[in-house]
């Protein structure tokens, strides 16, 4: 639990720092004369960097674990903040976003593997605890931006370097724990190899999971990147007021995250995925057609339900392809980042060509893709049945 708590705290720091970038988009738009398309490309540069690198890093560290790489990843994030605080041109903002993306690419696969190491048999709970730190950090980004960066200007971003240094110190201690226990964990895994899944089911399941990631992250990006603009345009809120309401949504995401893993451990991850994606649809479709108070309430409900999806999807995929925790973690974090980046650029272009209101109308239907969960095989039920048969075979006649 101490290691899981440390990983969750470091995830909070990492995602707080990376969330500062989209949180200050309204502040950057005027001085740099940015279009929504250009804003989308800032996110795309960050997300695409992380998306490409994470599966490669995860596959490499499956064979060559690098416990102290987590601290190095936080170091890259620190460097990106320094560049962002001093950026005077649009290309320099893009450079800063790429460096921050490199930090996240190094951090996420290895941190997820360490959470898997520390989980025991409660992999869903461990991933949820790890994820809730990141989601809570993401929710803090716009709040801290409203309280600190908006009143003090772009150079005040450098103040958050102190938080990055705390993360480096914490991750160095986590790396030391991993180095001490890595050999024992490998021996335990080799002694109890998990059951594989037929290749046909693997490909079918991966295709469905990719579609679900598309649905979740395209809708999530429409909120995280453009919700403040929607609130400012439709309800005439100030930048700070809109950022406070974005914090409400992101805090609901953080609160809902912790439920997905434990519920998946108990009832099965397929059912959690089903509810967390498709269950959002009635609320997301309704959201663009209500007043300010109802918008805030619906956004919080959507955030809480949608949050449980990623932990369940990630652990389902890890059980689908056992023995490749780093690669699978890198692949799905990479998909999440990649979908987020592509969504940011695509949705920004749609907003430029139409309107923010139209964007929210269209995106409200994306959670209906959750109906594809029907095609996911019940790999957990098959595993339970296999274990029962093994136990019966082992009993004396």
Residue 182 in this model has a pLDDT that exceeds 90? no
pLDDT band at 393 (very low <50, low <70, confident <90, very high): very low
How confident is residue 386, by pLDDT bands cut at 50, 70 and 90? very low
Q: Which pair of tokens denotes residue 16? A: 């707080």
Per-residue model confidence (pLDDT) at position 187 = 58
Q: What is the pLDDT of residue 186?
A: 57
What is the rounded average pLDDT of the residues 27-48? 82
Contact at 8 Å (CB) between 102 and 53?
yes
pLDDT at 197: 62
Q: With CA atoms as reference, report the closest residue to 58 among 339, 341, 334.
A: 334
Of residues 188 and 80, the one with the higher pLDDT is 80
> What local confidence, expressed as pLDDT, does residue 394 receive?
41
Locate 44 and state its tokens.
């795309």
Mean pLDDT, residues 165-182: 84
Over range 128-144, report the average pLDDT.
79
> How far from 344 is each of 65, 105, 141, 259, 385, CA to CA, in Å?
32, 18, 18, 27, 43
Residue-level pLDDT at 397: 40
Q: What is the pLDDT of residue 191?
A: 44
Q: Considering the chain, what percentage of its residues have pLDDT values greater than 70?
A: 88
pLDDT score for 264: 67
Please tell me the predicted confidence (pLDDT) of residue 189. Answer: 52
Residue 137 pLDDT > 90, yes or no? no
The residues, ordered by sequence, that sit 6+ positions from 67 with a Cβ below 8 Å of its Cβ are 110, 114, 174, 175, 176, 178, 179, 182
pLDDT of 96 over the 60 cut: yes
Mean pLDDT, all residues of the chain: 81
Least confident of 201-215, 239-253, 316-330: 316-330
Model confidence at 384: pLDDT above 70: no
Tokens coding 106:
């190094």
Question: In this predicted model, what pLDDT tens digit does every residue of 71-94 receive, in sequence order?
Answer: 888 999 999 999 998 888 999 999
Query: Nearest CA to 262 among 296, 312, 227, 320?
Result: 312
Checking if the pLDDT of 304 tops 70, the result is yes
Q: Minimal CA–CA distance to 13: which of 158, 167, 143?
A: 167
pLDDT band at residue 275 using 50, 70 and 90 as cut-offs: confident
What are the pLDDT digits (tens) for 352-371? 889 889 999 999 999 999 99
Given this model, what pLDDT does residue 184 score? 61
C-alpha closest to that of 223 among 14, 19, 9 = 19
**Residue 29 DSSP code:** H
Residue 54: name the closest of 270, 332, 257 by CA: 332
Residue with the larger pLDDT of the pair 328 and 350: 350
**Residue 82: CB partners within 8 Å, gap ≥ 6?**
158, 161
309: closest CA among 336, 286, 334? 336
At 361 the pLDDT is 93
395: left (phi over 0), alpha (psi -120 to 50) or beta: beta
Query: What is the reported pLDDT for 299?
Result: 93
**pLDDT category of residue 121 using cuts at 50, 70 and 90:** low
């Amino acid at each position: 639990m101490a290691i899981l708590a440390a990983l969750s705290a470091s995830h909070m720091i990492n995602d707080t720092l990376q969330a500062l970038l989209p949180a200050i988009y309204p502040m950057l738009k005027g001085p740099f004369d940015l279009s929504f398309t250009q804003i989308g490309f800032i996110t795309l540069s960050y997300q695409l960097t992380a998306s490409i690198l994470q599966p490669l890093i995860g596959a490499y560290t499956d064979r060559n674990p690098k416990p102290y790489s987590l601290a190095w990843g936080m170091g890259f994030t620190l460097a990106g903040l320094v560049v962002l605080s001093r950026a005077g041109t649009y290309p320099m903002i893009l450079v800063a976003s790429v460096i921050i993306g490199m930090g996240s690419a190094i951090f996420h696969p290895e941190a997820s593997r360490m959470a898997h190491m520390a989980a025991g048999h409660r992999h869903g709970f461990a991933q949820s605890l790890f994820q809730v730190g990141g989601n809570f950090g993401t929710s803090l980004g716009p709040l801290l931006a409203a309280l600190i960066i908006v009143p003090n200007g772009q150079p005040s971003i450098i103040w958050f370097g102190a938080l990055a240094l705390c993360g480096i110190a914490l991750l160095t201690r986590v790396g030391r724990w991993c180095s001490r226990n890595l050999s024992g964990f490998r021996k335990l895994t080799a002694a109890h190899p998990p059951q594989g899944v037929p290749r046909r089911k693997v490909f079918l399941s991966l295709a469905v999971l990719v579609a679900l990631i598309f649905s979740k992250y395209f809708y999530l990006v429409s909120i995280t990147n453009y919700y403040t603009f929607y609130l400012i345009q439709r309800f005439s809120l100030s930048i700070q007021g809109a950022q406070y309401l974005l914090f409400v949504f992101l805090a609901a995401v953080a609160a809902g995250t912790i439920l997905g893993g434990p519920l998946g451990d108990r009832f099965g991850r397929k059912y959690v995925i089903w509810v967390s994606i498709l269950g959002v649809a009635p609320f997301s479709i309704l959201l663009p057609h209500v007043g300010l108070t109802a918008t805030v309430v619906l956004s919080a409900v959507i955030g809480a339900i949608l949050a449980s999806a990623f932990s369940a999807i990630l652990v389902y995929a890890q059980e689908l392809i056992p023995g490749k925790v780093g690669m699978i973690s890198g692949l799905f974090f990479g998909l999440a980042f990649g979908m987020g980046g592509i969504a940011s650029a695509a949705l920004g272009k749609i907003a430029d060509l139409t309107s923010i209101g139209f964007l929210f109308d269209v995106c409200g239907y994306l959670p209906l893709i959750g109906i594809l969960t029907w095609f996911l095989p019940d790999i957990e039920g098959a595993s339970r049945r296999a274990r029962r048969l093994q136990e019966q075979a082992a009993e004396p006649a």
